[in-house]
Structure 1
């Protein structure tokens, strides 16, 4: 059974759409990495490519996706911290540092949400400032553990690293449209 010309045309169109959608993330991340040496290209492609809005997003949309991805990471950090605080045997210094981190990551989430709103409203300078604020707040969680005097690093350090990286990606992509 031979496929009809209409079926072949529809299949070709679908392949072209899918190829160009993926290229948007790839080309945007490549441009972001080319313009800002702090951007981890692989991280950018991997993380932005996971979001359901990415295939149809242009550069402006991907800047907003980066900010929204930061919100999700911050929310995940808060949930992880709550789980850690609920574990029996958490010493007082670690609990205090975790409590501080919970407050910080709640603020990180709000800062990324404000960055998304600012970028959506085309206030790029404010959006970039909010992304940087989010990264700064995330770094302060690691500092809270260092000040607690424990030899162990923050148990949510991966969220801090992620927040910093996605803030860099968000800023670099926003710079492409600014």
Structure 2
């Protein structure tokens, strides 16, 4: 076999390693940012969407924002299921109802961030995702104030991590890395 006949066999591997390096490099930069995004969390989260392997920076920003929205939506559904089907005290169900309202607000903010992102208004998208990040642990506060165990700790942690990642990714599109300011 001639070397040129082997090219079709190795080209997909070469391209895969280049796109993986992009996700890896992006996550290394996010980890080093002020958002302190966990590297493993970053790579696992981005690679959950197959498009991230070939995405440009704008595509990664969109994927990061979509990941936040999906997390918030799934958590909202989980909360509703817990309210309807869970065997919890009246106090815990009241906290869950408040959390449901908080997550509805998060979803509204993230839908607005998606709209802003798609219009190229990255500054507004950053503001909206930033509000989500600031409020990622609102339910934790509610459970603490009620003297109850936080039933949503992992979901809140995931939303905090995903919103930090999205802020980093969107910030790069604004022409400067807002995480370094």
TM over 0.5: yes
Q: Residue 156 of structure 2 corresponds to which residue in structure 1?
A: 160
* Structure-2-length-normalised TM-score: 0.85
Report the aligned-residue RMSD: 2.0
5+ long unaligned stretches in structure 2: 175-181
Corresponding residue of 1:129? 127
Distance (whole Å) between structure 1 residues aligned to residue 135 and residue 33 of structure 2: 25
Equivalent residue, structure 2, for 1:169: 165
CA gap 1:171/1:88 in 2 versus in 1, 3 angstroms? closer
Question: What is the distance in 2 between the residues matched to 1:87 and 1:21?
Answer: 43
Unaligned ranges ≥5, structure 1: none
1:144 to 142, 145, 150: 142
2:55 to 47, 54, 57: 57
TM-score norm. by structure 1 comes to 0.87
Within 2, Cα distance between the matches of 1:156 and 1:88? 14
Give me the whole-angstrom Cα distance separating, in 1, the residues matched to 2:31 and 2:169.
Answer: 9
Q: Give the paired residue count.
A: 174
